[in-house]
């Protein structure tokens, strides 16, 4: 694990040329396109995947390109010169400025932020182009929810409407199953007004701190595409700033919709600055982690003042959502005493320890309204933490967990009174048959505020594979109505994820989220499945790779068995070989059946088929009975 060096993160990154390439080259057969909104500065990025034509033997038609949601930012735009030292272009700067409800401060408000600015020991690793922070003018509320409630459709909202529709071309196969959405509202087209209404009514949030103008607007809510979050962050045990920045870029490249920086080690403040300035997606944090560092890891030394300064410090850097464990109430702590694994949430256990040490109520709960005042001055969204989530199957859905969830429901309403955006964190470890109970209770007590769950893991017996034990629960709870799924990597419970673990976790969670969109019947969700399946059926191997969530892996696995280029256009599957392939056989059957004049009517009429078959037999023999063609 390489420790922090004196090289700037950029220089360090530059050392790994291949890595830099991996981070910026566009995925195969893809091009970055921008859809313009009602004004020229609304440019919504998408990835367009070019497809080849169907082979002449199979009809030879053109296959229109497929548009997919793109979280990778300008890193995959060949027309943009990436400079991590300067950070990303400011997508939202003008929109924020023209609302005229914010002001630029001369200096950082937080004492700690000030102190770090002056600290010479961290000079070389400090981000060079720190802008002066924005804050709402006195008495103003700059949250997207506040605008939404006054009926204002912000550019962010319009941007999101375009983005969620993933515009598809003429001729794309839009067929899909109706789905079962448990009361979600699926529109055939997402309009800016629909986005506004969902945000106004608290069913969706737009995490978009006014100090993170680099962020490409996105939305989290049960009536939109299911999103995924990737956790990164260094710890006392290792990882350096450049590693974290490249993990972030790597994560968004593969589809992370938001990133949580869970750093607990050295230089948390500087690491966060680098990440936010270079992140095209919303960044979330757990401020209590840093606050704990400030009191040298002694929970009982935490104070509201230290925590408040940390909130402001991070809000002025541009953190888009805060995990805050305000639901860990004093009276709930003893409920965990007989658990098999007690309290496993770091934030939850810190607050529990604080409560017990002081025999006082959780200061995050008692100061909740003051926290809301800070949040709305920067538009930071709440992610109300589930500090008492179960840490094993046995502890699932117990009194401690559900008591806290009811309190999170109460806090949701208090935040909404301040027009502050809220999502709710969920478990954890839950066996399949107990997953839905979590969703149902959350929808009830939090009035459809977005649910944001960690998995849940459906068994405890597979450390090393918890991306899979949890993807099962994640796909199910996503189907039931969870808006965002926090990924779990193979290293969960074992160690710090490296880049391979991060990618494995993300692809696994893209699968879970997409399986949920399909099951909910989200409009257009099946387009990519249909296109890939058609390519598979027509042996268009390259298209099959290029349409997949991970083209590199799909291609390399295929090459292991059939390395030759010729095989990329082989009319057989590698499983069966040239002599024996069901796809090939199926095409014969299909050509045959399609040639039947009366296939449609005869389906339920055997005698008619019999006749049809007799007359067609010769035709069939003419166009070749062989099951295989030599390559």
Question: What angle do the packed helices 241-254 and 268-277 form, to 10 degrees?
Answer: 40
- Asked whether 117 and 108 are in contact (CB, 8 A), the reply is yes
Among 267, 508, 523, 543, binds a copy of itself (CB under 8 A): 508
Least distance to a copy of itself, CB of residue 329, Å: 9
**Residues 399-418, interacting with a copy of itself (CB under 8 A):** 399
Of the pair 106, 565, the CB lying nearest a copy of itself is at 565
Q: Annotation-wise, does 262 bind a ligand? A: no
Tell me how crowded residue 93 is: count the other CB atoms within 10 A of its CB. 15
Query: How many of the chain's residues bind a copy of itself (CB under 8 A)?
Result: 144
Among 39, 132, 137, 177, binds a copy of itself (CB under 8 A): 177
228 sits near a copy of itself (criterion: CB under 8 A): no
Among 493, 499, 568, 571, binds a copy of itself (CB under 8 A): 493
Q: Annotation-wise, does 389 bind a ligand? A: yes
Q: Could you give the CA distance from residue 7 to residue 11 in angstroms, rounded to a whole number?
A: 6
Of the pair 105, 575, the CB lying nearest a copy of itself is at 575
Q: Annotation-wise, does 289 bind a ligand? A: yes
Among 31, 37, 167, 238, binds a copy of itself (CB under 8 A): 238
340 sits near a copy of itself (criterion: CB under 8 A): yes
Q: Could you give the CA distance from residue 584 to residue 602 in angstroms, rounded to a whole number?
A: 25
186 sits near a copy of itself (criterion: CB under 8 A): no
168 sits near a copy of itself (criterion: CB under 8 A): no
Least distance to a copy of itself, CB of residue 165, Å: 18
Q: Annotation-wise, does 581 bind a ligand? A: yes
**Residues 578-597, interacting with a copy of itself (CB under 8 A):** 578-583, 585-590, 592-594, 596
Give the contact letters, 358-397, x = binds to a copy of itself (CB under 8 A), - = no: -x-------------------------------xxxx-x-
Q: Give the DSSP letter of residue 62.
A: -
Stretch that binds a copy of itself, among 203-211, 242-250, 318-326, 454-462 (CB under 8 A): 454-462
- Asked whether 449 and 428 are in contact (CB, 8 A), the reply is no
Given 3-state DSSP classes, what are the helix, strand and coil percentages for the chain, each rounded to the nearest 5?
45, 10, 45
Among 29, 37, 431, 499, binds a copy of itself (CB under 8 A): 431
The partner residues of 36 in beta bridges, in order of sequence, read: 43
Least distance to a copy of itself, CB of residue 289, Å: 8
Q: Could you give the CA distance from residue 575 to residue 620 in angstroms, rounded to a whole number?
A: 27
Stretch that binds a copy of itself, among 156-164, 195-203, 369-377, 569-577 (CB under 8 A): 569-577
Helix or strand or coil: residue 425? strand
Q: Could you give the CA distance from residue 41 to residue 96 in angstroms, rounded to a whole number?
A: 13
Of the pair 149, 536, the CB lying nearest a copy of itself is at 536
| Joined tokens for residue 16 | 């790994």
Of the pair 211, 234, the CB lying nearest a copy of itself is at 234
Of the pair 122, 353, the CB lying nearest a copy of itself is at 353
21 sits near a copy of itself (criterion: CB under 8 A): no
Residue 406 vs residues 237, 334, 409, 412, 413: alpha-carbon distances, Å: 36, 17, 5, 10, 11
Residue 547 vs residues 40, 346, 530, 539: alpha-carbon distances, Å: 30, 39, 10, 13
Residue 196 vs residues 57, 105, 215, 343, 417: alpha-carbon distances, Å: 49, 29, 19, 38, 17
335 sits near a copy of itself (criterion: CB under 8 A): yes
- Asked whether 116 and 125 are in contact (CB, 8 A), the reply is no
Tell me how crowded residue 267 is: count the other CB atoms within 10 A of its CB. 20
The partner residues of 104 in beta bridges, in order of sequence, read: 134
State phi, psi for 535 to the nearest 5 degrees.
Answer: -60, -40
498 sits near a copy of itself (criterion: CB under 8 A): yes
Q: Which of 480, 490, 488 is nearest to 448 (CA)?
A: 480
**Residues 521-550, interacting with a copy of itself (CB under 8 A):** 521, 526, 528-530, 532-534, 536-537, 544-545, 547-550
**Residues 282-301, interacting with a copy of itself (CB under 8 A):** 289, 292, 297-300
Least distance to a copy of itself, CB of residue 176, Å: 7
Q: Could you give the CA distance from residue 236 to residue 178 in angstroms, rounded to a whole number?
A: 49
29 sits near a copy of itself (criterion: CB under 8 A): no
Among 324, 343, 384, 423, binds a copy of itself (CB under 8 A): 343
Helix or strand or coil: residue 378? helix
Binding positions for Zn(2+): 429, 493
Binding positions: 231, 260, 289, 325, 345-347, 386-389, 425, 429, 452, 493, 573, 576, 581
């Amino acid at each position: 694990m390489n420790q922090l060096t004196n090289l700037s993160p950029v220089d360090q990154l530059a050392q790994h040329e291949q890595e830099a390439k991996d981070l910026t080259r566009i995925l195969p057969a893809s091009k970055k396109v921008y859809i313009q909104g009602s004004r020229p500065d609304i440019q919504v990025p998408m990835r367009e995947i070019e497809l080849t034509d169907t082979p002449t033997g199979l009809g030879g038609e053109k296959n229109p390109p497929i548009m997919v949601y793109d979280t990778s930012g300008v890193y995959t735009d060949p027309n943009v010169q990436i400079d991590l030292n300067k950070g990303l272009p400011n997508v939202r700067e003008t929109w924020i400025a023209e609302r005229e409800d914010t002001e630029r401060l001369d200096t950082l408000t937080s004492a700690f932020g000030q102190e770090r600015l002056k600290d010479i020991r961290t000079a070389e690793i400090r981000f060079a182009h720190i802008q002066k922070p924005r804050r709402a003018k006195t008495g103003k509320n700059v949250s997207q929810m506040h605008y939404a409630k006054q009926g204002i459709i912000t550019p962010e909202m319009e941007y999101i409407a375009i983005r969620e529709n993933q515009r598809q071309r003429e001729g794309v196969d839009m067929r899909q199953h109706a789905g079962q959405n448990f009361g979600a509202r699926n529109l055939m087209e997402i309009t800016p007004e629909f986005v506004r209404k969902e945000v106004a009514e608290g069913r969706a949030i737009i995490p978009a701190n006014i100090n993170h103008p680099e962020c490409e607007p996105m939305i989290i809510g049960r009536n939109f595409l299911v999103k995924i979050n990737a956790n990164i962050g260094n710890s006392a045990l290792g990882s350096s700033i450049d590693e974290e920045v490249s993990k972030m870029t790597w994560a968004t490249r593969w589809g992370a919709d938001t990133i949580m920086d869970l750093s607990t080690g050295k230089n948390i403040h500087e690491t966060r600055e680098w990440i936010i300035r270079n992140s095209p997606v919303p960044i979330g944090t757990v401020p209590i982690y840093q606050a704990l560092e400030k009191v040298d890891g002694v929970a009982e030394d935490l104070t509201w003042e230290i925590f408040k300064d940390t909130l402001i410090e991070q809000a002025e850097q541009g953190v888009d959502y805060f995990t805050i464990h305000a639901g860990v109430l004093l009276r709930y702590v003893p409920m965990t005493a007989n658990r098999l694994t007690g309290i496993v949430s770091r934030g939850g256990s810190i607050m529990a320890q604080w409560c017990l040490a002081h025999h006082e109520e959780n200061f995050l709960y008692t100061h909740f309204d003051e926290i809301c005042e800070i949040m709305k001055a920067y538009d930071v969204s709440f992610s109300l933490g589930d500090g008492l989530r179960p840490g094993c199957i046995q502890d699932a859905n117990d009194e401690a967990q559900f008591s806290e969830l009811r309190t999170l429901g109460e806090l949701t309403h208090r935040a909404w009174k301040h027009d502050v955006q809220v999502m709710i964190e969920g478990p954890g470890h839950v066996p399949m048959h107990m997953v839905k109970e979590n969703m149902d209770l959350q929808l009830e007590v939090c009035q459809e505020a977005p649910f944001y769950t960690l998995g849940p893991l459906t068994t405890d017996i597979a450390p090393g594979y918890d991306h899979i034990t949890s993807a099962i629960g994640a796909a199910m709870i996503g189907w039931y109505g969870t808006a965002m799924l926090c990924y779990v990597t193979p290293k969960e419970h074992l160690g710090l994820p490296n880049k391979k673990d991060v990618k494995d976790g993300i692809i696994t969670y893209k699968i879970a989220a997409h399986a949920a969109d399909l099951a909910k019947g989200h409009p257009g969700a099946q387009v990519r499945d249909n296109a890939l399946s058609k390519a598979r059926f027509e042996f268009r191997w390259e298209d099959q790779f290029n349409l997949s969530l991970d083209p590199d892996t799909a291609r390399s696995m295929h090459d292991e068995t059939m390395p030759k280029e010729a095989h990329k256009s082989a009319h057989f599957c590698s499983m069966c070989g040239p002599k024996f392939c069901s796809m090939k056989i199926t095409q014969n059957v299909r050509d045959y059946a399609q040639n039947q004049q009366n296939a449609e009517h005869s389906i339920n009429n055997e005698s008619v088929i019999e006749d049809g078959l007799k007359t067609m037999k010769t035709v069939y023999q003419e166009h070749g009975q062989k099951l295989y063609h030599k390559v």
